[in-house]
Structures are given as C-alpha cells and as structure tokens.
Amino acid sequence: MCVLSSSEASTNVTYDVRYRPGAGLTGLAAWLALPPYIDPTLPPVVAVHGIRRGAELQARLFAKRAAASGRPVIAPLFDAERWGGYQQAALRGRADLALIDLMASLAREGLIGANTLDLFGFSGGAQFVHRFAMLHPTRVAKLSIASPGWYTFPDNAPYPYGLSPPANRDANWARRLPANIGQFLALPMNVCIGEQDCVADKNTRSGDAIDAQQGLHRHARAHRWSAAIRAAATALGIRPRVALHVLKNCGHDFEACVHKGELDKIVIPRPQRTTCRGTCNLQQQQACRLAKSFELPHALETPQ
C-alpha cells in the first residue's frame, strides 16, 4: 500500500504550463498543462477558447484538477489571422482537421495516450467543439460546452444551423453530419450557462429565423438546444446523456464561471474511487500523491 506523509500539503498538485508553437505554416499552436505523471488510459482534456483567444487562461484554470488524475490539458490556439472562422469547424478552413493533426503530433511525442478526447469549449470555442463532435463523434469521450452564442441543431437546416449540406458549397465532409448523428447523440454532454448570461451582444448571432428557433440570448439557447438534443436522441431510441448546468452568479466570463460557478468541477469531475493494493510502481505512487493532495480518495492501481 502507498503510505503518504501527513505533512504533505493539500495544495501540492504540480504541473507544468508551457506554450507549444505550431509546426510550419498550418500547424496549430497550443498551451499545454502537463502533470508529472500522465495516465495513458485517460482521455486528455482539450479546452478551446472563445474569440478573445484565452487559451493560456483555460490551460491554467483547468490544470490542477486535470493533473490530480494524471491528465494533461491541451488548449489549442486558433489565431485570428489563419483561423478567423474556427467556430464553424469545417467552414472557412478546416479547423477540425487542424485539431486532429495537433493531437496526432502530441501522441507521437508521448504527451497523450488515449485515442479519445474530453472536449470542452467556452463561447466561440463551445461553438467549435460541438460541431467538431458532430463531425468526429468517435474521437470524443465526453463533450462539455459553456455559453456558445448559437448552435447547430439536430435538424435539416443547412449547416451550420442544422445538419444538411451548406448551400452553394461542394462539401463532401457535410455527409458526415447526418451519418454521424446517432453516435453524436449517444455522447455524454454537459451544457453549461451562466444564470446571468441572458443579454444578447454583438457576438450573439441574431435575426428573425435564428431567434425564433434558438431564443434571444445564450441562456435561452442553452435550454432549447439541450431539449432538442434530448428529443432527437429519444426519437432514435437513444438514451439522452445531456445535462444542463446553470452556473449561479455567473455571466459571460470564463474565469468567473470557474471561480464562482465551479465550471472546472463539471468539466473535470473527481476520479472514481479505486483501491490501492500495495503493488504500485513509482509512477503510480506519484499518481497516488497527486490524488491525495487534491483531497481525492486514496488512489489507484493500474493493471500490470
């Protein structure tokens, strides 16, 4: 059994935050939060920024909870010059493929091990990640979105409003959307919205048609999209796995959603309780210390 010193501080979770530049002209840069031990069996946390491009902030605010279970945080940086329309995933450039290429590079470097992602996005990043999951559901273990301005609905409207091919475009990728809808609807999803995020602004796409379908502001739209996902899943005989979280005392601010609304605890819940049986190697003992310092149950034994 791993024996932990009682003198270890409860805040003694360590991690390294670093910037990783993109490779070549088209490679995606990223901020990485790396724990000393990376559990290759768990999906990394991929956190996608909004239009303010606060990738570093997302990496830092998620780092501690992720590191406690041996998980890296990958926060890609979609710069404005090359990725002005990244929110739509496959329109105005293939931001979805750029993220796939980044993850493949990190896997080759030994920084991630699992084949799927715990995917999170805030605001414009939430737009991107739910559309990425619609295009590539088998790459996603769990989807968490917070405060997108608008959504792609599981209906027959042209993409990016719905799942039909976009008008006036030769888009072979668009065939994935209706073909993948069953796999997408089966994903576990968290839809998060600040209780005070109920005022439309210049970044909330508005108009008679979209307002009638989705609502007037982000708060209403979160409720309507969650209901639409549940209805679409039920209609296909799929058990809905979408949870709607209203973050108390929060508006449209990522940092406040973490500190006041505990968004980090929704995106990165505590690891499941496991039993340490005395067969831990050095890496597993480090994971045990991380879990203990994060006030988790005495941690883990990885199969030998």
At residue 110, the pLDDT reads 92
Give pLDDT, residue 134. 98
pLDDT for residue 117? 97
**Secondary structure string (H, E, C) spanning the chain:** CCCCCCCCCCCCCCCEEEEECCCCCCCCEEEEEECCCCCCCCCCEEEECCCCCCHHHHHHHHHHHHHCCCCCEEEEECCCCCCCCHHHCCCCCCHHHHHHHHHHHHHHCCCCCCCCEEEEEECHHHHHHHHHHHHCHHHEEEEEEECCCCCCCCCCCECCCCCECCCCCCCHHHHHHHHHHHHHHCCCEEEEEECCCCCCCCCCCCCHHHHHHHCCCHHHHHHHHHHHHHHHHHHCCCCCCEEEEEECCCCCCHHHHHHCCCHHHHHCCCCCCCCCCCCCCHHHHHHHHHHHHCCCCCCCCCCC
Q: Identify the pLDDT of residue 285.
A: 58
Q: Return the HEC string of 84-113.
A: CCHHHCCCCCCHHHHHHHHHHHHHHCCCCC
302, with CB counted inside 10 A (0-12, 13-18, 19+), is: middle
Minimal CA–CA distance to 184: which of 268, 119, 123? Answer: 119
Write down the pLDDT at residue 294.
43
List the structure tokens of 49.
């920024």
Compute CA distances 194 → 87, 160, 170, 289, whole Å.
20, 24, 38, 34
CA distances to 113, 159, 223 from 44, rounded to whole Å, are: 8, 28, 28
Instruction: Give mean pLDDT in consecutive 10-residue pieces for the chain, a chain of 304 residues.
Output: 29 90 87 95 97 96 96 96 92 91 95 94 98 98 98 96 85 90 98 96 91 96 98 98 98 97 96 57 56 39 29
Distance CA 55, CA 90 (A): 20
Residues 103-109: contacts with CB under 8 Å, at least 24 apart: 103/44, 103/46, 103/74, 105/23, 105/27, 106/32, 106/44, 106/74
How much is the pTM? 0.86
CATH superfamily of 16-293: Alpha/Beta hydrolase fold, catalytic domain (3.40.50.1820)
> For the chain, which residues make up each domain, given as ranges?
16-293
In this structure, which amino acid lies at residue 254? F
